[in-house]
Amino acid sequence: EVQMVESGGELVQPGGSLRLSCAASGFTLSSFEMNWVRQAPGKGLEWVSYISSSGTTIYYADSVKGRFTISRDNAKNSLYLQMNSLRVEDTALYYCARGWFDSWGLGTLVTVSS
Amino acid sequence: QSVLTQPPSASGTPGQRVTISCSGSSSNVGTKDVYWYQQLPGTAPKLLISRNNQRPSGVPDRFSGSKSGTSASLAISGLRSEDEADYYCATWDDSLRGRVFGGGTKLTVL
């Protein structure tokens, strides 16, 4: 069974940093493109970042470019999102999603507040 | 504000057919595949339609997708109470060089 479990979300002050992780199981991570998608409370879905299966191609939404870094460790079946210079508006449930979002984790909550 | 425009709400009665639109431009919907997702309350989204009109295994054939020019549509026939959810379209945008979601449509089954 395909499963993805996100972790690392917590309450952080504006300007702070967090590293999110996504542990994948039930499929070979190295064969798939991966993404981070977020959803602010009561709002719609926002694509955050994409990484190719090999990690050589990466894209970011303009809202996070220069502050967030996506990476992956295929040997550990894991996806990561390093989040720096966090802002109040980054508060959201962060999902990892496979390919064209054909499978999703349950999400991890990031709250940026003083 | 998303580059993909969806109506914020839609509604129908059980058994009816409803459609949800996703309007874009030549840099996204007009030239790229469109995907549709269903998000039931309190749950993660689920892929409903891939590549404009392909239903993944397990998705009922009551759900169908289409695309014409710079607009795409999701149709739900034989509406059921369990279809009450938020629906999102998504695609790639050449101008933004990134993936984009529509703003979402909240479907109410009356």
| Mean per-residue pLDDT, B82-89 | 98
Query: Amino acid identity, residue B92?
Result: W
| Mean per-residue pLDDT, B77-92 | 98
A47: closest CA of chain B, how far (Å): 6
Please tell me what DSSP assigns to residue B50.
Answer: B
| Mean per-residue pLDDT, B37-52 | 97
Query: Amino acid identity, residue B90?
Result: A
B86: contact with A, CB 8 A cutoff: yes
Q: Residue written as tokens 């009561």?
A: A42
Contacts of A98 (CB under 8 A, 6+ apart): A2, A4, A24, A27, A32, A33, A34, A35, A104
> What per-residue confidence (pLDDT) applies to A87?
98
In chain A, what's the furthest Cα-to-Cα distance? 40
- Token reading at A4: 């993805």
What's the pLDDT tens digit per position in A49-87?
999 999 999 999 999 999 999 999 999 999 999 999 999
CA-based angle B41:A21:A51, to the nearest 5?
Answer: 90
Contacts of A87 (CB under 8 A, 6+ apart): A14, A112
Q: With b meaning 16 or more CB within 10 Å and e meaning fewer, what string describes B32-56?
A: bbbbbbbbeeeebbbbbbbebbebe
pLDDT band at A15 (very low <50, low <70, confident <90, very high): very high
Percent of chain A with pLDDT over 90: 100
Question: Is the predicted pLDDT of residue B84 greater than 90, yes or no?
Answer: yes
Question: Is the predicted pLDDT of residue B40 greater than 90, yes or no?
Answer: yes
A102 vs B50: CB contact, 8 Å cut-off? yes
B44 vs A45: CB contact, 8 Å cut-off? no
Question: Is the predicted pLDDT of residue B7 greater than 90, yes or no?
Answer: yes
What's the pLDDT tens digit per position in A102-114?
999 999 999 999 9
Chain mean pLDDT for chain B: 97
Percent of chain B with pLDDT over 70: 100
SS3 of B78, please?
A: coil
> What per-residue confidence (pLDDT) applies to B94?
97
Which of A102, A103, A108 is closest to A38 using CA atoms?
A: A108
Q: Which chain A residue's Cα is nearest to B35?
A: A100
Question: Is the predicted pLDDT of residue B1 greater than 90, yes or no?
Answer: no
Query: Amino acid identity, residue A4?
Result: M
> What per-residue confidence (pLDDT) applies to A12?
98
Q: How far apart are CA B90 and CA A51, in angstroms?
A: 17
pLDDT band at B54 (very low <50, low <70, confident <90, very high): very high
**What sign for the dihedral angle of Cα A73, A57, B54, B82?**
positive
pLDDT band at B67 (very low <50, low <70, confident <90, very high): very high
B39: contact with A, CB 8 A cutoff: yes
